[in-house]
Amino acid sequence: MKNAAEILEKRLPEGWKARVLSSSGRLRIVAPDGRRSELAVLLRNRLAPREVVALIREGEGLPDLVVAPYLSPSVRRRLAEARVGYVDETGNIRLSLTEPGLFIETAGANRDPDPKRRPSRSLAGAKAGRIVRTLCKHKDGWGVREIADATATSPGYVSRLLANLDCEALIERDKRGRVQDVDWRRLIERWAESAPLVSRGRSRYCIAPRGLNAVMAALQGANLQYSVTGSFATQRYASVAPARLLHTYVTSIETFSSEMSLKETDIGANVMLIEPKDASIIEDADIDEKGIRWAPLVQVAADLLTSQGRGPAEGEALLDWMADNEEAWRG
């Protein structure tokens, strides 16, 4: 805890002090005018999101400050939501005091500098993506083999991934290991962090000389394999502003570009084409009454959260719509 006090003191305003009270294991913050606050501290070598959820559920006895060598982004978010401060040795700090008034928030590492401390829990990759979409979409409790069958993955892979998601408190399982509940919003956000839009596959920026409305009109009933994601897909549910860039998954960039008369460009692009590593993003498209193929809704939300410009704001707006209309998209 001495290290934490030293790290915190470097971020305090001039004249403020941080001291460890050896007799009680608490941390004392002293303002320049002598006013002070003593914080109950929880020391951990590591802390998983599931442990944070357990602390919050207990309610009474929450610490004022959590100190650890490293705290992951998901752990830090949950602590902040519970109004619990934190300090880690990489410089991630959040501390809020009413008396004396003080607020500090600084960013350190977003990846554990000592990966041996815990196994990798990446959600990158086609198999993980299919499992995430399946877990988010279905309300009913599913077992490992059912998920594996539905996503064309092995039971062993599903079991390992579910164990990681359980540790991160993104799912709830019963005693038999069946998924009973999914924190789908956090799961989508966590997936977006691990697998941003640019990682989905080979991509190319193009320009549609006649404009995007002409492209969308040409897509109606077109004999092409594709699925529209991003801002255009969001406007079916929660429009933030007119879409200026058309993100589309395609089986062949060259074929789609030729059929839609698109020109490759580095400047002024209004279309982004992506050949996905996971073909199911196209195969699972939702086809509307006009014959236009839309990417799965969960996929659209994740893509927006890591896209350019207004994308993240549109992603949050779409997540809000999904929260208010679960019956419309979750089965």
Sign of the torsion formed by the C-alpha atoms of 214, 217, 223 and 228: positive
CB 330 within 8 A of CB 138: yes
Measure Cα distances from 274 to 33, 153, 190, 257, 285 in Å. 59, 23, 22, 11, 15
Q: What is the pLDDT of residue 118?
A: 56
- What secondary structure letter does DSSP report for 285? P
pTM of the predicted structure, to 2 decimals: 0.78
Q: Is the peptide bond before 63 cis (omega within 30 degrees of 0)?
A: no
Q: What is the pLDDT of residue 201?
A: 93
Q: What is the pLDDT of residue 117?
A: 59
Distance, CA of 18 to CA of 3 (rounded, Å) = 11
Distance, CA of 300 to CA of 319 (rounded, Å) = 10
Domains observed in the chain: 2-115 (no CATH), 126-194 (1.10.10.10), 197-329 (3.30.460)
The three state secondary structure string of 173-229 is ECCCCCEEEECHHHHHHHHHHHCCHHHCEEEEEEECCCCHHHHHHHHCCCCCCEEEE
Angle at 162 between CA 161 and CA 164, to 5 degrees: 65
Q: Is 56 helix (H, G, I), strand (E, B) or coil?
A: helix
Closest by CA position to 214, among listed 246, 252, 170:
246
Using one digit for the tens of pLDDT, what is the confidence trace for 101-158? 999 999 998 888 876 655 555 798 999 999 999 999 988 788 999 999 999 999 999 9
Residues in the chain predicted with pLDDT less than 70, given as ranges, are 1, 23, 59-60, 115-121, 240
Q: Is 287 helix (H, G, I), strand (E, B) or coil?
A: strand
Using one digit for the tens of pLDDT, what is the confidence trace for 148-186? 999 999 999 999 999 999 988 999 999 888 999 999 999
Residue with structure tokens 């020391």?
A: 43
Q: What is the pLDDT of residue 221?
A: 80
Work out the widest C-alpha separation in the chain, in whole angstroms: 75
Distance, CA of 309 to CA of 183 (rounded, Å) = 27
